[in-house]
A = this chain, B = another copy of it.
Amino acid sequence: MLEKLKQEVYEANMKLPKLDLVTFTWGNVSGIDREKGLFVIKPSGVDYDSLTPDDMVVVDLDGNVVEGRLNPSSDTPTHTVLYNQFPNIGGIVHTHSPWAVSFASAGVDVPALNTTHADTFYGPVPVSDPLTKEEIEEAYEENTGKVIVRTFQERGIDEDAVPAVLVNQHGPFAWAATPDKAVYNAKVLEVAAEMDYHALQLAGHEQIGVPQYLLDKHYYRKHGKNAYYGQDNAKSQEHAKRK
C-alpha cells in the first residue's frame, strides 16, 4: 500500500540526520497522496539507524491509522490538521533543529534579512501564538495544528509563499509540494535562523531587513512563471544572455 510514497517519505526522513536537523529521534516527515486522502508518516520514537520504508505508518485525514505495525509519530494530529487546512501541501516536516528552536524559545520571528531567506520564504517566518492552557490540556497536538493555521490567518500570511512556522516555545514545522522539498525548506529555515541570529547581534532588530523589491526579486527568481533559477524552466537559458 502506497509503497512509492513510503519510500519517498522514508528517504526524506533519512535526510534529517544527514542535514544536521535532528538529535536522536526528534523529527518526523510525512507525505500525502491527495487522491486517496491518505498520508504516510514516520513511526514515533524510532532510531534513524534502524528505520526502514516498511516502518512507515499510513493515516487517513481523520487521523486514524489505516496501516502499519508501529505507532505513528506523536505529532500525527498536527500533520492531520495541516493537510486538511493547507490544500496545496504534499509533505510536512517537524524538527527540533537548534537555531529554529532558539527563535521559537524567544518568541521571535525569523525575519527576512537576506536573499538566502528571500529565495525560499516570501517574508518573515512567523512564531505562532502560544497555545492556551486549555488547548494544551485538551488535544495538544491537534491544537498545535490549529494554532498554526490561526496564526497564518490572523497575520494574513500565505502558507504557500511562507512554507514554515515556529510553534511558540516548541520548534519548526515546514511544508512543501513534496516531502523532499519540505525537508529542503526546513534546512533553509535553520540556516536563515543561524544567519539572522548573528546579524541581529551585529546590528539590532530595528535597523535591518530586506526591502520589498529585493524580496520580490529573489522569491520570484525561484518561484512562479517567471522563475529563471536552475535547469527546469523556460526563462533560465534566456536569462543567461545579455539583456
- Would you call A214 an interface residue if the criterion is a C-beta within 8 Å of the partner chain's C-beta atoms? yes
Partner among B96, B201, B230 whose Cβ is within 8 Å of the Cβ of A45: B230
User: Contact flags (1/0) for A183-224 with B, using CB distance below 8 Å?
Assistant: 010010001001111111111000010110110010001000
Partner among B108, B208, B231 whose Cβ is within 8 Å of the Cβ of A46: B231
Residue of B nearest to A134 (CB): B213
**Number of copies of this chain that the complex holds:** 4
Residues of B within 8 A of A137 (CB): 213, 217
Q: Are A71 and B203 in contact (CB under 8 A)?
A: no
User: Contact flags (1/0) for A117-148 with B, using CB distance below 8 Å?
Assistant: 00000000000001101001111101000000
Assembly CA distance A115 to B171 (angstroms): 8
Assembly CA distance A63 to B103 (angstroms): 42
Residues of B within 8 A of A231 (CB): 43-46, 70-71
Assembly CA distance A45 to B232 (angstroms): 9
Assembly CA distance A18 to B217 (angstroms): 30
Residues of B within 8 A of A151 (CB): none
Assembly CA distance A23 to B194 (angstroms): 13
- Would you call A114 an interface residue if the criterion is a C-beta within 8 Å of the partner chain's C-beta atoms? yes
What are 30 contact pairs spanning A and B, CB under 8 A? A24-B187, A26-B116, A44-B229, A44-B231, A45-B231, A57-B240, A65-B240, A72-B240, A74-B221, A76-B240, A96-B191, A101-B114, A101-B116, A102-B199, A104-B114, A106-B113, A106-B203, A113-B169, A114-B169, A115-B170, A130-B211, A131-B214, A133-B211, A136-B213, A136-B214, A137-B213, A137-B217, A140-B221, A169-B214, A197-B198
Apart from A98-B194, A137-B217, A142-B243, what 4 extra A-B contacts exist at CB < 8 Å? Answer: A105-B113, A106-B199, A106-B202, A114-B171
